[in-house]
Amino acid sequence: MTVTAITPQKRRPYRLSVFIDGEFAFGIHSDDAAFYKLAEGMEISRERLDYLLEQVVFSVARDTALRFLSGRARTYKETVNRLKEDEYTEDVIERVMLLLAEEYRYIDDAKYARDYAESRLKNGGYGLRRVKQELIMKGVSRELISEALEYAQEDNSEAGVALEWLKRKRPDTGDPVKKKRCADALFRRGFSYSTVKEAFAAYEEYCDE
């Protein structure tokens, strides 16, 4: 087997894409490529390639994912996308994700979705529609999202969250312009029309007390 090309990766030039016999084989940090004396035109044995894939490529991919997860919780898709940014092969990514999600249990989309939905609803003051869209963007399955939204509402109703937001803003509901401005803000935060209407009714009762 022959190393036919070594080229800088577009998104991260300090990482190199190594091609063997004209086919992409793996991505590697430029320092590691220099250490192992990889060069275009060199012959590489099956044993040498297997060693690089196992001891260098896989190990670095695993450590990259672990660092990515160390700051805060991430979804399965977010972690996969991070590895794709470094142009790891599907095989390497699959092995890393199997280790982290199945063996180590460092990635749990169900728990992530529950915690995220509860936090965004209760502490962030966002509506279910927006929370749902954000979780979709993070790659969580619709089934897990539905379960998470139900869980989040057990102690925090959507209308109640919208009401608390109104109480903090204290809009003058007697002024149609100001009332519409607040309603539009709630719509942007992901609350439905019926929820906003219910929240305003409760807020006006609160103000009359």
Q: Is 40 in contact with 71 (CB distance < 8 Å)?
A: no
From the list 9, 52, 50, the residue with the least C-alpha distance to 30 is 9
Spatial neighbors of 70 by CB under 8 A, at least 6 apart, are none
Domain shared by 11 and 73, yes or no? yes
Name the percent of the chain lying above pLDDT 90.
Answer: 66
**pLDDT of residue 209 exceeding 70:** no
Residues 85 and 60 in one domain: yes
CA–CA separation, 192 and 116 (whole Å): 19
133 shares its domain with 56: no
Does residue 67 share a domain with residue 8? yes
Indicate the average pLDDT of the chain. 91
> What is residue 44's predicted lDDT score, i.e. its pLDDT?
92
Question: 88 and 26, same structural domain?
Answer: yes
Kindly state whether residues 95 and 20 are assigned to the same domain: yes
Q: What is the pLDDT of residue 186?
A: 94
Asked if residue 168 and residue 76 are part of one domain, the reply reads no
CA distance to 56, 76, 118, 203, 204, per residue, from 168 (Å): 54, 36, 19, 11, 14
Same domain? For 12 and 45 the reply is yes
pLDDT on residue 133: 96
Task: Say whether both 19 and 97 belong to one domain.
Answer: yes
Instruction: List pLDDT tens digits, range 23-36.
Output: 999 889 999 999 98
Tell me the residue range of the domain where 202 lies. Answer: 158-209
Mean pLDDT computed over 86-110: 93
Q: What is the CATH number of the domain that holds 123?
A: 1.10.10
Tens-place pLDDT, residues 135-170: 999 999 999 999 999 999 887 889 899 998 998 888
Q: Are residues 86 and 59 in the same domain?
A: yes
Measure the CA–CA gap between 103 and 197, rounded to whole angstroms: 47
User: How confident is the model at residue 4, as a pLDDT?
Assistant: 94
| Number of domains present in the structure of the chain | 3
